[in-house]
Amino acid sequence: MTDWGALFRLDGRVALVAGAASGIGRAAAHGLAAAGATVACTDLNQAGAKETAREIGSTESHALDITDETSVARVVNGIQQRHGGLDILVTTPAVNVRKPLLRYTAEEFDRVLRLNLKGSFLIAQAAGRVMSRQKRGSIILLSSIRSLVVEPGQGAYAATKAGLVQMARALAAELGADGVRVNCVAPGVVETPLTEPIKSKPDWYNAYASKNALGRWARAGEMAGPIVFLASDAASYVTGAVLFVDGGWTAIDGRFTPPV
């Protein structure tokens, strides 16, 4: 019999949040902990991860470079050994080099793909192996509206975010029989350190705000609810999905309201 009151609870579950030092990762750590999960806060910025852990009452934080297989294995295996398993993975780190593709250097292209796509692959693979053996788990990758719509200067970033969607779908197909769910959250414009430079350009900032149905940017904390949903039993039949959390950006057609 379904316990309706516990649908969104995560009591007794162990979560690893990559990118927990700031932005959406920090918000995810707060949301998962509030729902009852034991959260391991990880980030390349170890001091930031430790501060987030302190905020949520966790004693577990680790330096983690998701682009390094040794770092990933050390953190994932350590969490498994300490807690007896791993139930939830949320991975958020990303980088964007905003420039036309014809002006991209090979190094810049490699840098964007290495973190956004390869890093997400390495951490999802390591967590997926643990979850596959234990026959349960939820993997949540952070995609973007740029997986669906794009603008000049976002080519490499958009390619990685679209790639994450297909990777999540493939993992969902491959791990479903083992009881592991894999989904993407696709935010719109969110106020995070990654988008901070845009705030200094009011025309750019306001143009993005006016593009979505709600007429504003999202706060990082507004991504926590969808992440908790996908981690919880409320989403027990949701896998291979992309949850757009974009204020209606991908639903509306342009900024013009016709006289109807």
Amino acid occupying residue 213: A
Mean pLDDT by 10 residues, the chain (260 residues): 90 98 97 98 98 96 98 98 97 96 98 98 98 98 97 96 98 98 97 84 91 94 98 98 97 73
pLDDT of residue 108: 98
Report the first-to-last Cα separation within the chain, whole angstroms.
49
Confidence at residue 32, expressed as pLDDT on a 0 to 100 scale: 98
- 157 in active site: yes
Residue 256 has a pLDDT of 65
Looking at residue 170, what is its pLDDT? 98
- How many beta carbons lie within 10 A of that of residue 79, not counting itself? 23
What's residue 183's pLDDT? Answer: 98
User: Residue 85's pLDDT is what?
Assistant: 97
83: three-class secondary structure by DSSP: helix
Q: Of 157, 205, 208, 237, which one is the catalytic site residue?
A: 157
Q: Is the pTM of this model over 0.85?
A: yes
Tell me which architecture the domain covering 12-242 has in CATH: 3-Layer(aba) Sandwich (3.40)
pLDDT at 193: 82
